[in-house]
């Protein structure tokens, strides 16, 4: 049975009259990578800041492991590595000193501290930067160092707010690789991003938030199955049998048949059993089927499908 490492229950956060987070509940299992998506001002950063103990909820609670962010924030901090959407660097400080400072700040002492810093430098492949001043680094490299800072104390949970923002394509690919490696290492990761295609590749599941409310949680396919009444299917056949389009239109549940390249694409209202029936009927009708495809939607489709772009 999976163990929820992050558990948010009826979380509420008001800033005066602005209800930034309203009754948000979801959980993230151990070792899971959960993408937190929503339009600007949806409440993502507020939720993440509460989880990181940088803010306090107006109501409800959030737990990291067994610890409540309200009742035991110190214990939560030991379990969490947080990377906000800003780098947070110091002047006149080298990369090595920067990481060393945060290792010390996490109460790592002596050999343990030196090993932790060396490990991070090795893991993040920033050995060449060790003696360079942090403030002189490019945005991508600063992000890399910031991720190193967030994990220098080897936390169980990582909360990353827009970690890939402002990165060039190469830096994004490298960053994605790092996240995958961390997930493979058993870290539980909650991350938000506006680059949905990348999130889809990194995340096991997503939580969609808008106007401070969670609209859906689960894998992209699970959510789409819940929110979509119709499947998008397509069929490619040998030759151009004219009967195919007629058979499809006449079949119950099939609508909006149209050509897409060398195939016919249509929407289908029905479950797996009905879909099997449809395929059986086409085969029985002598249609020379080369391909029959059920189109999975991507994260962008899901996002557009269930959010309405409203901000508070």
Find the shortest distance in angstroms from Cβ 49 to another protein: 9
Identity of the residue, 107 or 225, whose beta carbon is nearer to another protein in the bound complex: 107
Identity of the residue, 114 or 295, whose beta carbon is nearer to another protein in the bound complex: 114
Identity of the residue, 78 or 130, whose beta carbon is nearer to another protein in the bound complex: 78
Identity of the residue, 56 or 243, whose beta carbon is nearer to another protein in the bound complex: 56
DSSP one-letter string for 257-269: EEEETTEEEEEE-
Place of tokens 């948000």: 24
Q: Which of 159, 309, 305 is nearest to 221 (CA)?
A: 305
116 within 8 A of 153, measured Cβ to Cβ? yes
5 within 8 A of 29, measured Cβ to Cβ? yes
Find the shortest distance in angstroms from Cβ 126 to another protein: 18
The count of other CB atoms within 10 Å of the CB of residue 25 is 14
Per CB under 8 A, residues contacting another protein are 3, 5, 30, 52-56, 61, 65-75, 77-80, 82, 84, 86, 88-93, 97, 101-102, 104-107, 109-110, 113, 149, 153, 156
Find the shortest distance in angstroms from Cβ 164 to another protein: 19
Find the shortest distance in angstroms from Cβ 113 to another protein: 7
Distance CA 203, CA 297 (A): 15
Angle between helices 95-105 and 139-151 (to 10 degrees): 30
Identity of the residue, 62 or 216, whose beta carbon is nearer to another protein in the bound complex: 62
Find the shortest distance in angstroms from Cβ 147 to another protein: 12
The burial class, CB within 10 Å (0-12 / 13-18 / 19+), for 229 is exposed
């Amino acid at each position: 049975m999976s163990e929820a490492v992050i558990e948010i229950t009826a979380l509420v956060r008001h800033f005066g009259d602005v209800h930034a987070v309203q009754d948000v509940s979801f959980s993230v299992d151990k070792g899971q990578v959960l993408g937190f998506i929503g339009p600007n001002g949806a409440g993502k950063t507020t939720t993440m800041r509460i989880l990181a103990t940088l803010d306090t909820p107006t109501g409800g609670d959030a737990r990291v492991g067994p610890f409540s962010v309200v009742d035991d924030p110190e214990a939560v901090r030991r379990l969490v590595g947080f990377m906000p959407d800003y780098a947070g660097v110091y002047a006149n400080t080298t990369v090595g000193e920067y990481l060393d400072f945060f290792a010390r700040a996490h109460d790592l002492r002596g050999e343990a501290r030196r090993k932790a810093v060396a490990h991070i430098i090795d893991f993040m492949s920033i050995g060449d930067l060790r003696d360079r001043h942090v403030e002189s680094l490019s945005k991508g490299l600063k992000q890399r160092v910031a991720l190193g800072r967030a994990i220098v104390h080897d936390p169980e949970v990582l909360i990353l707010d827009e970690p890939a923002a402002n990165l060039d394509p190469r830096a994004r690919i490298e960053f994605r690789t790092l996240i995958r490696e961390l997930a493979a290492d058993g870290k539980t990761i909650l991350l938000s991003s506006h680059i949905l295609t990348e999130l889809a590749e990194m995340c096991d599941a997503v939580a969609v938030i808008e106007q401070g409310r969670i609209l859906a949680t689960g894998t992209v396919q699970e959510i789409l199955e819940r929110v979509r009444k119709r499947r998008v299917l397509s069929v490619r056949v040998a030759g151009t049998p004219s009967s195919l389009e007629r058979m499809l239109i006449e079949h119950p549940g099939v609508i909006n048949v149209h050509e897409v390249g060398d195939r016919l694409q249509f929407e289908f209202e029905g479950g797996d059993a009905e879909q099997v029936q449809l395929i059986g009927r086409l085969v029985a009708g002598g249609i020379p089927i080369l391909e029959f495809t059920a189109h999975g939607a991507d994260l962008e489709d899901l996002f557009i499908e269930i959010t309405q772009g409203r901000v508070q």
